[in-house]
Structure 1
Amino acid sequence: MRQWTEEQYPIITTLARLVKVNAFAGTGKTTTLVGYAENHPEEKILYIAYNTEVAAEARRRFSRNVTASTSHGLAYGPLGSKYNHKRCNNIRLTDVAKAMNTSDWSMAKDVVGMLNSFMSSPDTEIAQHHLVRFRGISINSRQIQHAQLVMRHANVYWNRMCDLQDLEAPIPHDGYLKAWLLTNPDMSRRFQTILLDEAQDTTKLLTQFVRQQYLNGCKVIFVGDRHQQLYRFRGAENALDEPWLKDAEVHTLSKSFRFGWGASHVANTILALKGEKTLLQGFGQQTQIKSKLPDGLEHRTYLYRTVAGVIDRALMCLPAPQEPDNGERVYWVGGIKKYQIQTILDMYWFSLNQTSKIKNSQLTRDYKSFQEYAEIADQTEDPEMVRIIKILKNYGDSLPDLIKRLEQITVEQEMAATVTLSTGHGSKGLEWPYVQLGDDYTYDPLDEQAAKDDPDRRNDELNLYYVVSTRGMKMLALNTMVISMMKHAKDRRAGLN
């Protein structure tokens, strides 16, 4: 018989129709939800996971009365599968510019932004407020005209994406999800209860969908950690703060079994800067706090702020030229493709106009030349494009050989690796025995002026520091910025600042 904590038991046995669970890092929220499902075998339960990997793990762990799916998975059967022949991951800037017959890349970027904002909203029509850069500010007549023009182009492209016959306007996963949810599906016919995981990082669209199921008669349980909200920049919002949850039964999970007191102390120091009063308690194995991982570990994990930081660390794992194999093997969380290694190599050949060596032919269809690509990156300030150009400048002509050698030391299974690499965002939900935080986290939460100028940005960055600082189980090696936060807290306790 499993032993539940005094925090978990009331959640597992609850009979309330509307429940909110504030769960801190490593506090066993999934285990608690599994317990809830086992304790309510008569209920048909829908568990909505935030990605396919979590959904697959949930299918393995949950009892048979639970259906685990992502929101996109729910939409795929009834609608998404019909778009298999024209589906894409994201709306491409070049596709939109081509459809508009324009070389005004800033305008095309606004159209893409408006479409993405519309697709994540519960709105039934594209509107001016979906132009994010004009949201919340007073705009002049010229800007109003611009917004109206963007809106017209966005409407045309949305209709083209939804057209099964129009192959020139691919539809992203968020597109068919939006189109399906606009049909107002009623899940109460199949399920009595809905569990929404990672509620702190969901869209208004999905939150509205779950609310509608509640109004249709479903029991609803929201679970999340407000301090692990990482995707506000993509339009995600913290559903735990939704006004309609004000009457929900509220629970807290604050006892972590992932790590010990050391890691929880670091986490609480970070959360104190956000004004959090509840303390995260470390009930796991002892976690040593260091400034650097020691030599001789069989496996270690490095978490970086940027993709460029991850790639730099991977290159450090290579033996020096002409040196024998040093035995290092690298596992990339999410797979090496996620880090655009092949895209970077293709772009290198593109910059030299050696198009015959480019593997992704879409590149030469999208851009006339590397110069055009660089100009678009400059005009739109697209972070992905800017990052690739920076990497090309940093590594120059050594890039092809370095990438070839990187692929040789890359492994598909983490068990075969000596080094695991991830961005901080990619590490959410994961854990490792030995973790080192990279030094490319440059935002200083102690900068009072920066905090006043953009308090939301400060919270976002503190959330990321909290996430990466709660991944280590046996040992956590801090970076310069987290050490600075720890010293600041210590000095405050001593009355020195």
Structure 2
Amino acid sequence: MNHRPTDEQAAVIDAFTAADRPTIVVQAGAGCGKSSTLKMAAKAQPARRGAYVAYNKALAAEAKRDFPGTVDCRTAHSLAFGPVGRHYIDRIKGPRVPAKAAAEALGINSPVELAPDLAPLSPITLARMVMAMVGRFLNSADQEPGVQHLEPIDAYTHTENAELAAYLVKYARKAWDDLQLTRGGKLQCTHDVYLKIYQLSRPRMPVDYVLLDEAQDLSPVMASLFHFQDHAQRIMVGDSAQAIYGFRGAIDAMSKFQADQRLTLSQSFRFGPAIATEANRWLDLLRAPLRLRGYEPAGSSLAALAEPDAILCRSNAGAIAQLVDAVRSGRRAALVGGGDDLIRLAEAAMDLMAGRGTAHPELLAFKTWAQVQEHAALDDASGSLKVLVKLVDDHGPEELIRVVSTLVDEQHADVIISTGHRAKGREWDRVRIGADFREPRRDRLTGRALWRRDELMLAYVAVTRARRVLDRGGLAWLDDYDRGPVQGPETWLTTAVREHPDAILADQPDPYGLDDVDELAGIGSDYRTDPAERIAAVAAIAPEYVRPVEPKPAAVVSPFAPAPRKPRCACAHLQLVHVDETRACRACSCRAYAEAREAVPA
């Protein structure tokens, strides 16, 4: 992009070059030239050495071509390779370690049966789960593997998952000990291992400033590395409205970072005013700090498209439905991300239908496909499991395999199909929105729309992938809803407290810090449904409505009391009760977690 900097870009450059070297957060909307702005800022300070940290190799390579030579453009793994990673290259390039060998190396010799009606977990399956725990630890900011790194099995209860985590954590720590060895280790070493070792060393880059891109979706290990560079000027750039990977453990570091200055880039160069106006409707609902301005010379329109370049769907199930339609109409289709995951799902479903069991990570606890269907029908089943079941039941495993086999490369496709998540960072001239984007539920008392923040962000990402023509398709229902802000706890929880002041006790645990409460206020009121979580939010947001009272006898249950049948804790990833930094439980009934720690704080 070659143009004079906009006023907003000039403000970023001026802040970057200021004598006091402020830390800066830049909220940059879709297509608003954030990379170009960083490049102009770096060129304005040729005497200073900097580092540009990108989340993937392609971005780093592109930046290396565009930035001046005084800026070292790297991925985090590249930064870690020199001081740490080069010592692990032989292990990384070594032969693949099968799960059976991993189980033997870890000493996992016996199966585990937690629920008699479900399939026992074999040593091979347990070894895979241990290595998955280690993988989540490697992407965290934690000091060692812990029970919180187990991804709960959907078929198990909270208590059963707690018991499993307590059992596996010792093997996860044993695996981590093995992976830190430069020689003689028995387990499969990956690039994430040396990045984690590098992060634990609290490194300080020998530069004057650090530029961090795509900061709205950072792994905690990356955020930790950036935090350590407090000797240098730090500039964080991204778009909090596109923070759509929280379900993978990513965090919006921009909202947490204590910056001296917060600036915005709102002039989009990707599309014209029509698409910018549509995007702003979603930013209104998100209460985002900016509104986009379309680029007049680009031009854009909202129109129905019979033959779009790309179709963007909310879910994998929606993407497969579009793929089936494309195949039936004789159009060559490409699926962003490929179809390998779908083939593995179809094969796992066929195994379960035949009563053979499966090692598929989301289905391994089930003995039959009927069990999977039964569990997916429960209200508390995970959304991902419901999608898997819908895919198989709607199309059949054989049909899934057949349809996936027809996929072509993108350069040979008549249409490209993607989920909104996989489309992030991409753009096409003509985009149609798939039909599976969900309308919001309505509050039963007020009738107001209950907007979910994650759904709003995904919709914003989807509509901003179009350059010339946007077919709103599955998001056109927005016209039927009021354009008020996301309803958060500031509007309805305070009313609840006024009506039930005795429900808040003086010793009510507060699981949120003040920063978290501010973020919570922007989330739809159906996002946090546990009554005790609502109370804690009100306690911080509206303390004027909180008065201490004597706790009621145990036999009297407050209308806001948490349901005792589902004890929760931070270890189970459902933070009902905040715990100390060891994350051992001390205020709920998940004793198995506490027993997994050497010491439980008093």
Instruction: Provide the TM-score with structure 2 as the length reference.
Output: 0.64
1:51-450 correspondence runs (5 A): 51-77=56-82, 78-79=84-85, 81-85=89-93, 100=108, 101-104=110-113, 108=126, 114-127=133-146, 130=149, 148-163=166-181, 164-167=183-186, 169-188=187-206, 191-214=207-230, 217-243=231-257, 245-246=258-259, 248-276=260-288, 278-284=290-296, 285-290=298-303, 292-293=304-305, 295=306, 297=307, 300-319=309-328, 326=330, 328-334=331-337, 336=338, 340-343=341-344, 347=348, 390-396=390-396, 397-404=398-405, 406-407=406-407, 410-413=408-411, 416-442=412-438, 444-445=439-440, 447-448=442-443
Q: Is the 8 A contact 2:29 2:268 kept in 1?
A: yes
- Following superposition, the deviation at residue 488 of structure 1 comes to 1.3
CA contact (8 A) 2:23 2:235 kept: yes
SS at match of 1:257: coil
User: What is the deviation of 1:220?
Assistant: 1.2
Contact 2:27 / 2:237 at 8 angstroms: preserved in 1? Answer: yes
Cα distance between partner residues in 1 of 2:462 and 2:445: 22
1:489 alignment partner in structure 2: 482
Counterpart pick for 1:472 among 453, 466, 469:
466
Preserved contact between residue 29 and residue 290 of structure 2 (Cα < 8 Å): no
State the secondary structure of the residue aligned to 1:436: strand
What amino acid is the match of 1:316?
A: D
2:343/2:401 contact within 8 Å kept: no
Q: How far off is 1:435 after superposition?
A: 0.5
Do 1:451 and 1:458's aligned partners in 2 also have CA atoms closer than 8 Å? no
Q: Is the partner of 1:186 in helix, strand or coil?
A: coil
CA distance in 1 between counterparts of 2:454 and 2:322 reads 24
* Whole-angstrom distance in 1 between the partners of 2:202 and 2:327: 53
Structure ranking higher in helix proportion: 1
Stretches of structure 1 that go unaligned for 5 or more consecutive residues are 321-325, 356-362, 493-497
Residue 82 of structure 1: how far off its partner (Å): 4.0
| Offset from partner CA, 1:218-270 (integer Å, 9 cap, x none) | 22110011111011112111111225x24x22211111121222222222211
**Matched pairs, number:** 449
Deviation string 1:314-349 (CA, Å, 9 cap, x unpaired) is 2322256xxxxx5x3333334x25x53553565577
Report the CA distance between 1:151 and its aligned residue: 2.9
Secondary structure class of the residue paired with 1:227: helix
Change (3 A) 1:26 1:153: same
Larger Rg: 2
Q: Secondary structure at the match of 2:254?
A: helix
Gapped regions of structure 2 (runs ≥ 5): 116-120, 486-602
- What is the CA-CA distance between 1:448 and the residue it aligns to? 3.7
Give the match's secondary structure for 1:213: coil
Aligned-residue offset at 1:491:
9.9
Q: What is the Cα deviation at residue 207 of structure 1? A: 1.6
Q: Which of the numbers 26, 30, 40 marks the counterpart of 1:21? A: 26
In the TM superposition, residue 469 of structure 1 has moved relative to its aligned partner by: 1.2
Percent of residue pairs identical: 27
SS at match of 2:93: helix
Closer/same/farther in 2, CA of residues 92 and 288 from structure 1, 3 Å limit? farther
Contact kept, 8 Å, 1:268 with 1:279, in 2: the verdict is yes
SS of structure 2 residue aligned to 1:256: coil
Instruction: Say whether the 8 Å CA contact 2:286–2:457 is kept in structure 1.
Output: no
Structure 1 residue 401: deviation in Å?
4.2
Question: RMSD of the alignment, in Å?
Answer: 4.3
State how far apart, in whole Å, the 2-side matches of 1:183 and 1:491 are: 47
Contact preservation (8 Å) 1:105, 1:376: no
Aligned to 2:544: none
Deviation at 1:394?
A: 3.6
CA deviation string 1:6-45 (max 9, x = no partner):
0001223422241111111111111111212222233332
Summarize the alignment of residues 447-462 of structure 1 with structure 2, pairs less than 5 Å apart.
447-448=442-443, 458-462=452-456
In the superposition, relative to structure 1, how do residues 165 and 445 fare at CA in structure 2: closer, same or farther (>3 Å)? Answer: farther
- Paired residue type of 2:335: W
Q: CA deviation at 1:302?
A: 0.6
1:198-227 deviations in Å (ceiling 9; x for gaps): 11111332222112122xx22211001111
